[in-house]
Every structure is written in C-alpha cells, then in structure tokens.
A = this chain, B = another copy of it.
Amino acid sequence: MTLTELRYIVTLAQERHFRRAAERCFVSQPTLSVAIKKLEDELDVTIFERNRSDVRVTMAGERIVAQARKVLEEAELVKQIAQEGKGQINLPLRIGAIFTVGPYLFPHLIRNIKPIAPEMPLILEENYTGVLRQKLRNGELDAIIISLPFEEPDVDIQDLYDEPFEVLIPADHPLAKQEKVTRKQLEKENILMLGEGHCFRDQVLNACPGILKHSDETSLPQGTSLETLRHMVASGLGITILPSSSSDKHIYDSDTIVERPFAGKTPYRRVSLVSRKRFSRPKAIEALVQAITSCSLQGAANL
C-alpha cells in the first residue's frame, strides 16, 4: 500500500471513470488501472465494481476510500508541519546561561530578539557551566552562554562580549573614597565570593590570586548569587568583585555601595555562546548572537 495508490482510489471514487481519474492524477489510464488492481489484490477486497458503462464504489470500498482520504489528509499535514519547521526561527529555542550572566543578559536578550525572530520563543535556564555543558551535549539545550575558558568537542563557540570586573564597596568603607582599587589593597579586605562551582569565582581568584587565603581564614559565608553578594556588601559584611553587567541597575544608591574599577590592568571575562556543531538550526543561533551582541550591557565590550 502506498500513498500514491490511496490517492488513486480517492480520485477514482470521485470521478467514477478511469481515464478522467488518471488525468487528474497526471498518469496514464493503464497506470491507474494497474495500481488500483494491485491495491485491491493486496487488500484482498474489491473496491470498485467495473461495469461497461460505469465504475462504482462497492460498499467495502466506500469505507476504504473514506479512510484513504484520512490518510492523505494526515500526510498533507506532514508536509505542512515540515514547512513550518523549515524556517528555523519559528520554533522554541532552548538556551541556558551561567548564573552570573543569565539574570543580567536575559532581559536585554528578550527585548532584542523580538524584532529579529518574533516567532521564536526562548526557553531559558540558568545553571552551572558543567550542567549546561551536559545539557547541551545531550540535546536538552540548543545553546548555552558561558564564560571562557570552555573546552568541548563538536561545538561551535562564538564570543559575545568582554566585561570588566569591578569592586563593590560599602559607601562608608575607606576604599570607597578612592577612584580605583589595587589588587594589593583587596588582599587585606574581607572579599565575599560565590560558592564553588561558579566559574566566576574561579575567574576572580585568577584575577586576584592573593585574596583567597585571607577570605578562607575569616571563613566568610559564600554567596549563592551575585545579588546576595551585593546585599551582603550593602550590609557592610565586606567587599566583593562583580562583572560590570551586574551593576546595570540595582536597588542600592551610591550612599550605600559604590563600584570602583581596578587599578592597573582591568580583569575581565569573555562571555561566549556555545552550540553543537551540526545543530539543525544555525539561523536560530545566528539570530541569537545578533540579538545578544546588540545588547548594550553595562560596561561590556561587544565582539
């Protein structure tokens, strides 16, 4: 049984005339005759009663033809659905971002992607780099936004932006009076840090190797998010280091906390988008990159 054969019987049932039905199917009359006989043989049912003057659908044939019509309708829907799926940017895209990027990037992203891909809803998630990597690999996510370094086989990595680190200081802290803060100065302070697993923690430690020992000694609490760190700084518990995008707008004014750049070489992190090589919707990724790089994130330098 083939879709073509089903198309033939449906048409013949309508036309009740082999030659006309054949024409409507764009085949010759013998082709139609043979195909219909073949189907009748396969199903072992006489679908059409051939008379000299007239072709008539048998009672069993009526039901078969009706069902054949259904099959063809559903088959048409396959094409239609394929057509819809073809655009690449009209189906949901599943995106993950690390905890220290998502909250600050997503609002801009959502706004910017609307005009580029209005039909592409974003399914968003925040997680650790390792979890995101896993979910990207096994297909639970289509793209992840992480911070370099990031190594993974079979992926495309597109750099999005660099963002500098800055120091967040309680307004009444002595360091708040300085224009810039040196790494040396930080080593004597209580530096509040994210917990292990956050890549930003590692990046901060990398940028300021001296702060770890001190912080460990005082056994400061580990922040679970950049915002909790900010709250703790505001409460006077210590100093922290944040990526600039996180200080875009927040609830504390400069009487409570102040941001200060690093003296000397500014530490920064590079944020990149990772997708599987051979992912079926490169255009969706492209649209995503375009949307992100057109975001004006506080302090970030688009690439």
> Which stretch in A51-59, A176-184, A238-246 binds the other chain?
A51-59
* Closest B residue to A77 using CB positions: B67
Q: Do A64 and B44 touch across chains, with their CB atoms under 8 A apart?
A: no
User: Given contacts A44-B86, A60-B91, A71-B74, are A79 and B1 in contact (CB under 8 A)?
Assistant: yes
Q: Does A203 contact B (CB under 8 A)?
A: no
Q: Does A263 contact B (CB under 8 A)?
A: no
Among A63, A74, A83, find the residue whose CB has the most chain B CB atoms closer than 10 A: A74
User: Given contacts A1-B75, A67-B77, A278-B50, are A60 and B82 in contact (CB under 8 A)?
Assistant: yes
Chain B min CB distance to A265 (Å): 41
Residue of B51, B91, B139 near A49 (CB, 8 A) is B139
Q: Does A92 contact B (CB under 8 A)?
A: yes
Q: Does A19 contact B (CB under 8 A)?
A: no
Among A54, A82, A142, find the residue whose CB has the most chain B CB atoms closer than 10 A: A82
Q: Do B3 and A2 touch across chains, with their CB atoms under 8 A apart?
A: yes
* Copy count, this protein chain: 2
Interface size of A as a range: 35 or more
Q: Do B59 and A81 touch across chains, with their CB atoms under 8 A apart?
A: no
Q: Do B46 and A63 touch across chains, with their CB atoms under 8 A apart?
A: no
Q: Does A12 contact B (CB under 8 A)?
A: no
Interface positions of A from 232 to 272, Cβ below 8 Å from B: none
- List B contacts of A142 (CB < 8 A): 59
Q: Do A64 and B81 touch across chains, with their CB atoms under 8 A apart?
A: yes
User: Given contacts A81-B64, A82-B45, are A58 and B3 in contact (CB under 8 A)?
Assistant: no
9 closest A-B pairs by beta carbon, nearest first, are A60-B85, A43-B82, A46-B280, A58-B280, A71-B74, A56-B139, A45-B82, A67-B78, A70-B74
Binding site for B on A (CB under 8 A): 1-3, 6, 43-46, 49-52, 54, 56, 58-61, 63-64, 67-68, 70-71, 74-75, 77-79, 81-86, 91-92, 138-139, 142, 154, 276, 278-281
13 A-B contacts (beta carbon < 8 Å) = A1-B3, A43-B78, A49-B278, A49-B280, A51-B154, A51-B276, A51-B278, A60-B84, A60-B85, A63-B81, A63-B84, A64-B81, A64-B82
With A45-B86, A54-B139, A60-B85 already in contact, 5 other A-B pairs whose C-beta atoms are closer than 8 Å: A43-B78, A51-B276, A59-B92, A59-B142, A63-B85
